[in-house]
Amino acid sequence: MFNIEVDVFPFFKTLASLPKAKLLGLLFFCAFVAVFIAIAFALGLGWLTDMLAYWDTAWLNTLSGWVTGLLGGVVAWFMLPTLVVLIAGVFQETVISRVEKIYYPDRQRTSPPQLWPDIVHDIRFTLRAILLNLLIVPFYFFGIGFFLSVALNSYLLGREFFESAAGYHLGKKQAQAFGREFRGPIYLGGLVITLATLVPGVNMITPVLAVVWMTHLYHFLCTREK
């Protein structure tokens, strides 16, 4: 019998890893990128609306721009789960390497971490995730869109982050096969990550938290398999 809080649900271990593995600098980087994306999306949508929709009355133009910008910010906020992988992909190997150096020194990979090693894959995943999230938008009108979004992104993010952590050692194909043996804990991790992206403030540092969480989960599941 294993300890679900510490092993399958490494909440406190993940938080403790941030200062121990010297990841606080990356947390600030994540926060900056997340805020930049949300602001850029809102401003871009407002600019596009100004270009396409023009009213004869000045105050209507101003109101339209503000409403569109506000809606754009809200949409960007709820679409943030689909962007987490793209943000995390830039430095995920650095995070994994630092965590393993502190917690799993005997299991470290010999080759040094790379900067954004799977950029093409991360972009494809993000585009696919955005498309899938857009497909469930109509369900928001029936009151179940939020729950479908959480369920969908829990699966997508859990699988993607776990395969990144496992793939750091095993490679993508073997990581996928390994992950299929532990769908429950991986989905649970994905659920935590998804919910974290919806919490103001926490969502800005979720990319780092997600990588750390799945790194701990991967190493625990390796011991379980043995």
What integer pLDDT is reported at residue 164 of this predicted model?
93
If pLDDT is split at 50, 70 and 90, which confidence band does 34 have? confident
How far from chain centre, in Å, is Cα 155? 12
Mean pLDDT of 159-180: 94
| Mean pLDDT estimate for the chain | 83
Query: 55 or 190, which is more confident?
Result: 190
Q: Encoding tokens for residue 216?
A: 């701990």
Which range (62-66, 130-134, 186-190, 212-216) has the least confidence? 62-66
More confident residue, 66 or 208: 208
The confidence score (pLDDT) of residue 68 equals: 64
Q: Which pLDDT value is given to residue 127? A: 87
- pLDDT value at 216 more than 60: yes
Inter-residue contact 185 to 176 (CB < 8 Å): no
Has residue 1 got a pLDDT over 60?
no
Work out the pLDDT band at 30, boundaries 50, 70, 90: confident
What's the DSSP call for residue 4?
Answer: I
Q: CA 106, CA 129: separation in Å to the nearest integer?
A: 35
SS (H, E, C) 94-130: HHHHHHHHHHCHHHCCCCCCCCCCCHHHHHHHHHHHH
Residue 19 has pLDDT above 50, yes or no: yes
Nearest of 189, 124, 116, 195 to residue 158 by alpha carbon: 189
pLDDT reported for residue 71: 63
Element (H, E) at 43: helix 24-52
Joined together, the tokens standing for residue 68 give 């569109």
Q: How confident is the model at residue 46 (pLDDT cuts 50, 70, 90)?
A: low
Structure tokens at 126: 């993000």
- Per-residue pLDDT, 5: 47
Lowest mean pLDDT among 54-63, 98-107, 169-178: 54-63
